[in-house]
Homo-oligomer: A and B are copies of this chain.
Amino acid sequence: MPYELYYWDGLQGRGEFVRLALEDAQAPYVDIGRGGEDEDEGERQAAMMAVLNSKTEPMIPFAPPFLKDGDLIVSQTANILLYLGPKLGLAPDTNLRYVVHGLQLTIADMVTEVHDTHHPIASGQYYEEQKVPAKTRATDFLEHRLPKFMRYFERVLAQNPHGDRHLVGDSLTYVDLSMFQLIEGLHYAFPRATARFASRYPRLAALRKAVGARPYIAAYLASERRLPFNETGIFRHYPELDAAAH
């Protein structure tokens, strides 16, 4: 039975971190929220909302994405990857799996901070209603938080005793795929602030390139399954939130 991934249609969002792992491993999965071409948006989301609003389901998630594997429902992006990692051959079977997961949770923290650059006040309100604090928060993010996170991840690569090609151990894990997505998203959202990314973080830039060149990832990125980044996702390109032009 294929894995069932439940997520919103029309955006990459947090679901994309899961998709990259499933695609790289060529695992059979159904992207439930995207549904069939003959369904309208309400129908495509109906199955997801039925789980979220269930009055009887014992494992209700707080929010998408969540994964169904038979009767089991796994919620939270990083938790889904924790669950899938060993099954997809994308996680070590030693205690290093906790190191992989710790890094994944740090990526999740940074993703939340990226989200809050455009929604610093209320996730339920439009960006346009919080543009002023968004600019202040985005400025702080680009000046302080982005360099702090990226210097850290660059150090993780540099200090990997198995070499700087992977974040953990001597082979690809799901957190390498997620790091690709994070870096892609940062470039989309903040092209000016990331203009010198490759010279500042050469190991991370090399990792991004290597992941993007993996055959199944490259095929996925070129497919219709890969939605483009857009302004309903986490990584939004609002030029006024980016660094100033030089």
By a beta-carbon cutoff of 8 Å, the part of chain A in contact with chain B is 54-62, 72-76, 78-79, 82-83, 95, 98-99, 101-102, 105-106, 109, 112, 116, 120-125, 133, 136-137, 140, 144-145, 149, 152, 155-156, 159-161
Assess the B58–A160 pair: CB atoms within 8 A.
yes
Residues of B within 8 A of A79 (CB): 98, 101-102, 105
Oligomer: number of copies: 2
A243 to B183, CA, bound (A): 39
The distance from the CB of A118 to the nearest CB of chain B, in whole angstroms, is 13
Tell whether A140 pairs with B156 under 8 Å between CB atoms, given A79-B105, A101-B79, A116-B116: no
Tell whether A122 pairs with B98 under 8 Å between CB atoms, given A149-B62, A152-B62: no
Residues of B within 8 A of A58 (CB): 159-161
Assess the A62–B106 pair: CB atoms within 8 A.
yes
